[in-house]
Chain A
């Protein structure tokens, strides 16, 4: 069976407030999809309906073609999820909490033991495996929650702002974990409002606002859509770039469509053309001897699309 999650006319009303308005979205295959939107856009509401925590007013949510509303047990059997920041029974240890999770999923005891070791080590919680969860900080609890959602090595992973409550190092680790998850046959559906996180780990993005889906496409198409085919990259240098170098040497390169300075050592470049031109530009910048430290697809492009779509929605 192919991996998929699908919302069909998914609608949620709380009294007169419509939190989600006939969402139709199908995500298929092994990929990571970023589910974007401002606070109150309907992201968490959507994910909660995908995990049967709340019930749709209209429509249905499907995981691998199975209706979550009609057969939650079968639909969620292939899912690992993390919605909001759950609390674990405070007197249990991470080992026991994961043991319970695994037993409820029907995993064999030896599987539970080995996977517990693996996932707790991935989230850097191996040293606290036998401490009571009630004594943990919010960030530590979130790490255990992430470990729990990955325990069964699920093929569909639904994550609701997984870096919530984590310090910068923890956020980076979550990104690294999600990137690692992508290496296997797996569909990841992750809500976030941290655009750099989405650019870093996601292949596709879907944007919701005021309960409506604004667009869903590949990250590449979305960012290109902004500037009629102009790709955008962020470049960082070891030393400040002076004006003549920036406007004269870099700005005059045939691959550069536009440039702007972020700070003395960082610039954003618009690229004429596609990946070939981008690769050529990287070679040229590296050859200039300016101390090029990093060169990566710009998340500011996504940010601009995001802001423009959101503001259009408000007009």
Chain B
């Protein structure tokens, strides 16, 4: 060993060998440490630029449409009140931002550890798999929240222009909190799929197909054909993001009869039901995802 190495060894860098953990941090502390570096990696990577571009494009289109069609009845209706403005543009847009950020930051989060072999760097350290899972989840959550905040900033800037002092309603804060709960639920599900695959591409594809149209399609089929409330589908719950802006909540179940006597049943989650679905999805998928990750081998 070189002279500086010997000096450092003498300085006491060696870990404890008495069979105790010594100064090795606890599970949560390690998760927080890992999330810090993982987030740094996300923020410098192309995927973050891609996510910001998606948010930027959505924001640019929205801003362009509002200004170009500002004289139209539709835009006038939107800008007539903060609830109409945010109820339509925030609730409609933020779910798209959340789904894309979930796919981009979470799709390969766990699968990539196996396929890209970054897991070999981490898993040889004195760290529990739960710390790695939670750390990566927190980093994906933080990166996604940045994307959501950027979208919110674009929207508030437009709101300030069209609504003036009315641009910061309390209902927006309430809806923002629900959006974060939806983001947690979605990331939980994304991490579950990611931990079921060792291949990043498969994980991202499955997550993208399910969240971009798969769940919506299943929801429509379940409602139309089986006539069952699709309470078990995460995208069903996203409707409640718009509820803070509504003066009257939609009916939980409504039935209409079509021209040939065909009856159509429409389901809307209740406020509480939507929140419970999101929280339930988050808890169940997080536990299941961790269960799979704990059992996957780095073969």
Contacts and interface: CB of A to CB of B under 8 A. Distances in A.
Interface in B8-22: 8-9, 11-22
B116 interface: yes
A24 interface: no
A125 interface: no
Nearest to B24: A106
Contacts, number: 161
Interface of B: 1-2, 4-6, 8-9, 11-25, 30, 33-34, 37-38, 40-42, 44-45, 116-128, 297-299
List 7 A-B pairs, minimum CB-CB distance, nearest first. A106-B23, A86-B120, A91-B44, A86-B121, A53-B298, A180-B1, A89-B41
14 contacts: A53-B124, A54-B299, A64-B19, A77-B16, A81-B124, A86-B119, A103-B25, A104-B125, A105-B15, A105-B126, A106-B25, A115-B13, A153-B13, A154-B15
Contacts of B8: 114-115, 118, 153
Q: How large is the interface on A (under 10, 10 to 19, 20 to 34, 35 or more residues)?
A: 35 or more
B297 A1 contact: no
A152 B14 contact: yes
Given A118-B8, A154-B15, A100 B34 contact: yes
B125 A87 contact: no
Contacts of A1: 17-19
A89 B125 contact: no
A65 B20 CA distance: 12
Interface string A91-106: 1100011011101111
Contact of B33 (A100, A154, A181): A100
Contacts of B21: 73-74, 77
A161 interface: no
Interface of A: 1, 3, 14, 48, 51-55, 64-66, 72-79, 81-92, 96-97, 99-101, 103-108, 111, 114-115, 117-119, 121-122, 132, 145, 148-149, 152-155, 180-181, 183-184
B297 to A, nearest CB: 4
Contacts of A115: 8, 13
A74 B13 CA distance: 17
